[in-house]
Amino acid sequence: MNNRRNFLTGAGAITGAIAAATVSKVAMAALPEPMIQGKPDTMPPLVPNSGRPYNPVVTLNGWSLPWRMNSGVKEFHLVAEPVVREMAPGFKAHLWGYNGQSPGPTIEVVEGDHVRIFVTNKLPEHTSIHWHGQRLPNGMDGVNGLTQKAIDPGKTFVYEFVARRPGTFMYHPHADEMTQMAMGMMGFWVTHPKGRHPLIDEVDRDFVFLLNAYDIEPGSYTPKIMTMLDFNLWSWNSRIFPGIDSLNVRLGDKVRIRMGNLTMTNHPMHLHGHEFVVTGTDGGPTPKSTRWHEVTTDIAVGQMRQVEFIANEEGDWAFHCHKSHHTMNAMGHDVPTMIGVDHRQVVRQITNLVPDYMVMGERGMADMAEMEMPLPDNTIPMMTGEGPFGSVEMGGMFSVLKVRRDQKRGDYGNPGWFKHPAGTVAYEFTGSLPQPARASKAGAGAMPAKAIPKKDVEVRIRKPNGHKDH
């Protein structure tokens, strides 16, 4: 084993104690005690206190599952069960998950580990777990009906295999998948290399999270499981901005971010202020000759990607899915486009009948983030997040990479807002403005149009409300 830097000693003391608690004398003979997590906070990395050493990952708004060693086998205990997940402060969803949370805890093992996972089903229906991306015996692949009998409610099954290749993996049910994944059943898995690996660099910070999505009607608590495309909550680890923790790093840190996509669509993940390289896919580490720098990487459904970069620009850098509808929360849909429509006459007439009537969106949607809109209980505003300069006008799949010179090694805490050096923030110009260059001609084309209207036509169409008709 090479001499890995252990910069996480402080945080490890806490989680080490949790890991030790799983190994009670009584339990050694039977099932490992299930560890349950009640809080949606980002827990400090789980420093290994048995088995081979490795640099642990940090799960955004999540945690890693402690294990016990039993005659050389690493034993974990997952409990599939209904959970209440706080998706953002003040917004709770009734989901299904593992060990108290959705997603379930991250499982971290080392290449070559013999792994045994006990899965107890406390759901009202049968389940199974598929170990997405793993090399394993066919009968351990977790496909209900094809490779195993379903785990009925109240039963515990055992999965056992050797973690053969290092990389980034996921786990999820392969039984009534449509329901169980729509309800939040999924988790992350990282297999660390057993020694120095030519394609896997050591990093200072290693973050993981799953991309997931829900359709929860404003004012209700349970996802609509039949939804195939029209989700209204776009989340990372079943959290939505501003409920997603920031990724806090030290200036000059080598940072890895691992993401897995278990939604129904792709997510182009975009980082501000830095270029990264994709160093691994669901198939494992990529050959170095195939890596190039980019600032956005698309993650398709069922895929995992890991990106790496040196955090060498100080500041608060946005990190988000670039599909703008995925950085919106509930109410991002079903609102007609009203930009440019002058409502004043209509509003005057309506307020005679409905005194509280308010018009939204004629100057764009930013108004909505500023107005205090009355919302049903348990609804997250469409766009939220209060930054140092006002509303961030974002929701959903959005967080912030915080790069700080004075962040301590091993400190994953939020350092607060960036203090911009004087003269480095965009500012208002108050002098006299020269005439700006402006395109005024309609322009030509590849060839003349066959029939040109006698008078110019301006298209003014108000899009139909909702998605129901297409």
Nearer to Cu ion, 141 or 215 (CB): 215
Among 94, 165, 323, 333, binds Cu ion (CB under 5 A): 323
Nearer to Cu ion, 200 or 330 (CB): 330
β-pair partners for 120: 79, 156
H or E element at residue 181: helix 177-182
Residue 325 CB, shortest distance to Cu ion, in Å, is 8
Distance of closest approach, residue 235 Cβ to Cu ion, in angstroms: 10
SS3 296: strand
Instruction: Convert residues 324-343 into a mask of x (bound to Cu ion by CB under 5 A) and - (unbound).
Output: --x-----------------
Tokens for 91, please give them.
């917004």
Least distance to Cu ion from the beta carbon of 396, Å? 8
Torsion of CA 413, 398, 368, 469, to 10 degrees: -150
Stretch that binds Cu ion, among 9-17, 171-179, 312-320, 323-331 (CB under 5 A): 323-331
Angle at 289 (CA atoms; ends 285, 293), nearest 5 degrees: 85
Nearer to Cu ion by C-beta: 122 or 333?
333
Q: How many residues sit in the footprint of Cu ion (CB under 5 A)?
A: 4
One DSSP character per residue, 330-394 reads: TTSSS----TT---HHHHHHHHHH-TT-----BTBSHHHHHS-----TT---SSEEEETTEEEEE
Footprint (CB under 5 A) of Cu ion, residues 231-270 = 267
In single-letter form, the type of residue at position 286 comes to: T
CB of 267 to Cu ion, least distance (A): 3
Closer CB to Cu ion, 56 or 243, in the complex? 243
Q: Residue 311 is encoded by which pair of tokens?
A: 């955090």
- The phi and psi torsions of 101 (rounded to 5 degrees) equal -140, 160
Based on the shown chain and the rule CB under 5 A, indicate whether residue 320 belongs to the binding site for Cu ion.
Answer: no
Q: How far is the CB of 367 from Cu ion (least distance, A)?
A: 24
- The answer to whether residue 305 forms part of the interface with Cu ion (CB under 5 A) is no
Task: Answer yes or no whether residue 321 interacts with Cu ion by CB under 5 A.
Answer: yes
Task: Report DSSP state, residue 13.
Answer: H
Comparison of 323 and 343: residue with beta carbon closer to Cu ion: 323
Rg (CA), the chain: 25
**Nearest-approach distance from CB 236 to Cu ion, in angstroms:** 10
Residues that bind Cu ion (CB under 5 A): 267, 321, 323, 326
